[in-house]
A and B are shown apart, each in its own frame.
Chain A
Amino acid sequence: MTVEFIQLLVVGLVTGCVYALSATGLVVTYTTSGIFNFAHGAIGMLGAFTYWQLTVGWGWPAWVALPAVLLVLAPLFGGAVERVLVRPLHGASVDVTLVITLGLLLFLLGAANYIWDPATSRVLPELFKGGGTSIAGVNLSRQQILIVVMAIVVALALRTLFSKTRIGIAMRGVVDDPDLCAMSGASPARIQQLSWAIGAALASLAGILIAPKVGLSSLQLTLLVINGYAAALFGRLKSLPRTAVGGILLGILVEMYPVYISPHVPGFSDTAGELTKAVPMIFLGVLLLFLPSARLRTSTAAGRIAPTVPGLRQSLVGGVALVVVAVVLTGLLSSDNLGIATSVVVLAIALLSLVLLTGYSGQTSLCVLTFVGLGAWAMGHSGHSVLGLLWGALLAGAAGALVALATARLRGLYLALATFAFAKGMDEAFFYFHLGSGQQLEIKRFQLLGLDTQSPSTFFLLCALVLAVASVGVLAVRRGRWGRQLTALNDSPAACATLGVNTTITKVVVFTAAAAMAGFAGGLYGSSRGIVTNNDFAVLGSLALLLAVRVGGINTITGAIFGALTITMFPEIQKHVHGLPDKLQLAYLLTGLAAVSVGRDPDGLGGQFSKLGHYLRGLRTPPQSASGAPDFEEARLVHS
């Protein structure tokens, strides 16, 4: 027991207290409203920035600004979020709540970057500067003491709230039965609003306390919530004491890792400190592995009609049309713009994997760009060989299979968290170190059958052809036997199991296929770019893509193309429209906004198009179609 060890233990305990505070807020909102708030960290980030604005920006004294943020602004904001976004979600599926809170995360991040230019460096001072004591050689700053005291005060206050006050008991009661709460005369909506207010205040407190240590960076603070997720999961998203323990354990682990663990593991000399950031992800992943298996869900999508799946002829016509449009475009666009168009097409291929995985089979994945990145990596290490595309698909497919096997028992929220942790972990432990030199990788265009792949128009046409084939293929899969199995898996895993469909195998296969597809697209992506950086495969990018596809309609090809188009075009629009600030993250801001506004409709814009198509065909076909119906029936009888 050296002094250094105890010192680290103390630092870890303090950090852990902050995680515990944040996680406690997350658990309180989750248990009372049943909605896992992915934007919890973003709310904390907003709290920290607001506090900075009040104190450093406008010179308010801390003793005014702190209560103003924690007791007034944050609770008001949390309450408003509940009223505007959460309350209308009553009874919505996990999938929808996921999209809405992820959208809020992106939106808040975009908004914060717009208000507080990330290029300017800001420092949030500690609440109490300097001072402190030293006990037996172990230093304790006043800030550290304050953090521990605050954590204890919050813990005691929550304990009193939940066991001694009527509103606190009602907050526990609403978990059991919101309707019964109302029958007893307690408004469930009000109770849930209160829980969101408390959650926002706790998130802000955690943000304000940790910002002096990790820096006032909107991205860092937002993603710090993953540590909160991990701690909350330690408490199984239910128990507050266990959540607090989880937070403290994680805090100690994070502080100890670079000193006691990483130097002793060969090959993991963690000079940059990036691996340390992956520790919470590993913690989260391990916890997810030990979660009890989720019960097979029965149907939830009652009465919902998915968009029509185009038939073979229709999808072939669509595919040919796509190639024709591409040919026309090569004549119209400059080579720069062709490059952008190629990005759209390549991204659309990657997003088709989401249509298959999330749209058809209902497996939420927040790591699509990780598979794309693996594909690009394989391509970059294959020289000019076109086989690089194949290696990329194989590598990503293998990774997808591993992810699916590791998460075989998880679904919905937990699957989303697991894929999120995987993406973040890969981001920090793999792409940061091993993508290439200096987080960059040069990728050469492959050679194929003597085609001039260096020419922008040839390469664009080639990618468009791949997209057309992939689209027709995905639709064919959807119409086939396996596609029916995927849809059934999405609709009701329980019914699938009773019919003898092995849900685990189905899931692993669809994950592998989707990942391989994304990996293949990754090879093309790398080739079209020439140079990729680790930022191209960051987890937030995956998140924005999922939301964009979702807005476009995640179970339609239209959705994939729409998602690729919007995400690629945002930065381009930004470049060309005058008066838009450089740092405005239009992609985050608008994607987030779109997700929270239309995310409730699982079919998105693609679904609307499908309905419109139905409507138009209805107009065109005269009413005597009723007499045509029996013929159709007969025809089917004859064929079968």
Chain B
Amino acid sequence: MAAPALELKGITAGYGRIEVLHDVSLAVPAGTVYALLGPNGAGKTTTMLVASGYVRPTAGCVHVAGSHVNRVAPENLAKAGVCRIPEGRGIFPNLTVNENLRMFTYSSPFSTGEVQEKSYARFPRLGERRNQLAGTLSGGEQQMLAMSRALVADPGILLLDEISMGLAPKIVSELYELVGQLAQDGISILLVEQFARTALAVSDYAAVMTGGRIAMVGQPADVADFVNEAYLGGAA
């Protein structure tokens, strides 16, 4: 069996003296979608930051496709195929849509032309606004632009952090359609989401985090039952 696309082994990490993650281990098998659920402050985003090299773990190790990457700089991890779409809008507001796409070519195997072609084919609305400053796009369009990076980066592992945040349900389902498509193309995805049901619908595996620990790992159906408890005061 091939090495997992992403594996965290016994990760302890935090900010300054405050430890946020305590001995977190998880493995995203190649070609699967893995949902990471949990209440606010559970450490989901920190897990993402560790996986993409922004937060250095104080213990444990991060493996990407079998390679140890603990001390690799974020930009080099990005080039090596770890693609994180951050919480909020992962775009440059003062660059035009075209220029934003050009930025994506740093971690993409495609040329600027190909990147634009692929993105505009998938999101025609972006094509209509190609010379507009990204900051003037609507929330949904901005998230589409951010997701375009996932589309063109051809990532080894895609980290999606709450892509539904603050968006209309219609746009959320549109974005999740893309997630399903990327998964079908065989891209491994680690997904952090507030809406458990939306996330579980597209995932192969799921884990629940509470208080900086993995509370449960399993099939989406099993996790669904556990989730309510964890969200609604299982930790309390």
Contacts and interface: CB of A to CB of B under 8 A. Distances in A.
Indicate, yes or no, whether A interacts with B: yes
Interface of A: 166, 169-170, 172-173, 175-177, 179-188, 303
Contact of A186 (B52, B90, B100, B106): B106
B106 A172 contact: no
Contact of A185 (B75, B86, B92, B99): B75
Contacts of B90: 180, 183
B167 interface: no
Contacts of B92: 172-173, 176-177, 180
A173 B74 CA distance: 16
A172 B84 CA distance: 21
B94 A184 contact: no
B148 to A, nearest CB: 11
A344 B11 CA distance: 56
Given A166-B105, A169-B95, A169-B102, A183 B73 contact: no
B131 to A, nearest CB: 12
Given A180-B92, A182-B74, 16 more contacts: A166-B102, A169-B95, A169-B99, A172-B94, A173-B103, A176-B95, A181-B103, A183-B52, A183-B83, A183-B86, A183-B90, A184-B78, A184-B103, A184-B107, A186-B106, A187-B76
A170 B75 contact: no
Contacts of A303: 16
A583 to B, nearest CB: 45
Nearest to A190: B75
B44 interface: no
Contacts of A169: 95, 99, 102-103
A188 B75 contact: yes
A172 B54 contact: no
B93 interface: yes
Contact of A187 (B75, B95, B105): B75
Contacts of A166: 102-103, 105-106, 112
Interface in B89-141: 90-95, 99-100, 102-107, 112
Contact of B78 (A170, A175, A176, A185): A185
Contacts of B107: 184-185
Contact of B95 (A173, A183, A185, A186): A173
B86 A176 contact: no
Contacts of B76: 187
B56 interface: no
Given A176-B94, A183-B84, A170 B103 contact: yes
B73 A182 contact: yes
Contacts of A181: 75, 103
Nearest to B16: A303
Contacts of B75: 181-188
Nearest to B98: A169
Contacts of B16: 303
A184 B107 CA distance: 6
B144 to A, nearest CB: 16
Looking at B76, B78, B86, B92, the one whose CB has the most chain A CB atoms below 10 A away is B92
Contacts of A179: 54, 74, 86
Contacts of A170: 103, 106
Contacts of B100: 173
B79 interface: yes
Residue among B100, B103, B107 with the highest chain A CB neighbour number at 10 A? B103
B151 to A, nearest CB: 13
A303 B18 CA distance: 12
Select the residue from A170, A177, A180, A187 with max chain B CB neighbours within 10 A: A180
Contacts of A186: 75, 103, 106
Contact of B93 (A176, A182, A183): A176
A173 B78 CA distance: 16
A54 B78 CA distance: 44
A175 B92 CA distance: 9
Contacts of A175: 94
A583 B93 CA distance: 52
A422 to B, nearest CB: 33
B91 A180 contact: yes
A175 B94 CA distance: 9
Contacts of A176: 92-95
A185 B94 contact: no
B79 A172 contact: no
A180 B86 contact: yes
Nearest to B17: A303
A180 B83 CA distance: 11
A181 B105 CA distance: 11
Contacts of A185: 75, 78-79, 106-107
Interface in B16-46: 16
Contacts of B104: 184
A182 B107 CA distance: 10
> Which A-B residue pairs are the 8 nearest by beta carbons?
A185-B107, A185-B106, A185-B78, A182-B74, A182-B75, A173-B92, A187-B75, A176-B92
B204 to A, nearest CB: 25
Contacts of A184: 75, 78, 103-104, 106-107, 149
21 contacts: A166-B102, A166-B106, A169-B99, A169-B103, A173-B94, A173-B99, A173-B100, A176-B92, A179-B54, A182-B54, A182-B74, A183-B52, A183-B78, A183-B86, A184-B75, A184-B78, A184-B104, A185-B79, A186-B106, A187-B75, A187-B76
Contacts of B149: 184
A183 B94 contact: no
Contacts of B84: 183
Nearest to B80: A185
A545 B43 CA distance: 47
Contacts of B94: 172-173, 175-176
Contacts of B73: 182, 187
Nearest to B49: A179
Contact of A183 (B74, B99, B105): B74
Nearest to B134: A176
A181 B79 CA distance: 12
A30 to B, nearest CB: 15
B85 to A, nearest CB: 8
A172 to B, nearest CB: 6
A501 B146 CA distance: 42
A623 B103 CA distance: 59
Contacts of B78: 182-185
Contacts of A188: 75
A176 to B, nearest CB: 4
B53 to A, nearest CB: 8
A84 to B, nearest CB: 19
A179 B75 CA distance: 9
Contacts of B112: 166
B56 to A, nearest CB: 14
A181 B99 CA distance: 13
A176 B100 CA distance: 11
A187 B53 CA distance: 13
A181 B74 CA distance: 10
